[in-house]
Amino acid sequence: RAFEAAARRLSFKSAATELSVTPSAVSQKIRALEADLDVTLFERTARSVALTDEGRQLQPDLTAAFLQIRQAVDRVRPSPLKSLRINSSGAVIAKWLLPRLHRFTERHPELDVSVETDSALVDMSPGGPDIVIRFTRSLPETLYARRLHEELLIPVASLELIERLDLRTPKDILRASLLHDTSLSVFAESPNWNSWFRAAGLAGQAPRTGVRFARQAADHAIDAAVSGTGVALSRSLLVHGALSDGRLVSPFGPVLCMGVSYFVACRHGAETEPHIADFLDWAEEEAALLSTLKSLHMATG
């Protein structure tokens, strides 16, 4: 241990501080090790130490070994923090959860929160995640679930694109490239740009082709809209942040109801555990802010 600390820090004094012993004790232990191995591990000068070739060969494996021992001990030592594992799709994590998660962790510093990405309904048995957030029409009855938000589809674009193409009425969208979130096609009868054109009184008009985003890439469609690539028909929960801070604008309606919702869920019975109940309550509080979406300012000004 004395050699590994000194080799890693290239300082007997720093190694002594780390090991809570004196520099003299570190030096004595290293000399004993050198005598036992019959090799010189350090080149010593009045002001510094440097590893010899033998020392450089020995140090990496010892450092890895001590790290492995430390990790093994940490795995069985009771953690001072209660863990909370949250699982959701990458789009929900990136666009909704992470921008506001700090409000939960600041309220609950006693929790060790981890976030993992998965769009499928993962195993909720002990050993799996504590919380899942899912975008679906319904969840299995084996889960305790709360509905967070019934999703809306909103046309959004950057202010720069709106001004450049003079997008003021639904008919003006015929001048714009459209961004297509084709991942929504997994839901039968889910609205899309064709549905929006009909609702906007533009039936018979063909939506312009544009970039298509599939395989859970809804967040990338939003990023493309922010960059001015085109107009996206975006999910309101995912686009709320960009609308709130002005990176995106919804220049006009209509807004379409999807009939699909976001749910926060856990194992039945786990909802009474304080740390899980706290997150469920917090998620509902945050989702309540989305109720303002139906009355969002629909003009560029």
| pLDDT tens sequence across 38-52 | 999 999 988 888 999
Alpha carbons 84 and 58: distance in angstroms, whole number: 40
Asked if pLDDT for residue 126 goes beyond 80, the answer is no
Q: In one letter, which amino acid is 142?
A: T
pLDDT in tens, 253-266: 999 998 899 999 99
In the chain, the amino acid numbered 46 is A
Under the banding of pLDDT at 50, 70 and 90, the label for residue 118 is confident
How far, in Å, CA of 40 to CA of 257, rounded? Answer: 75
What span, in angstroms and rounded, lies between the C-alpha atoms of 149 and 240? 12
What letter does residue 254 receive in the DSSP assignment? P
Residue keyed to tokens 């000399």: 31
Cβ(205)–Cβ(169) below 8 Å: no
Q: Describe the strand order of the beta sheet including 111-117 as a list of residue ranges.
A: 111-117, 82-88, 131-136, 256-267, 143-156, 231-235, 178-181, 212-213
> ω into residue 99 within 30 of 0, thus cis?
no
> What pLDDT score was predicted for residue 113?
94
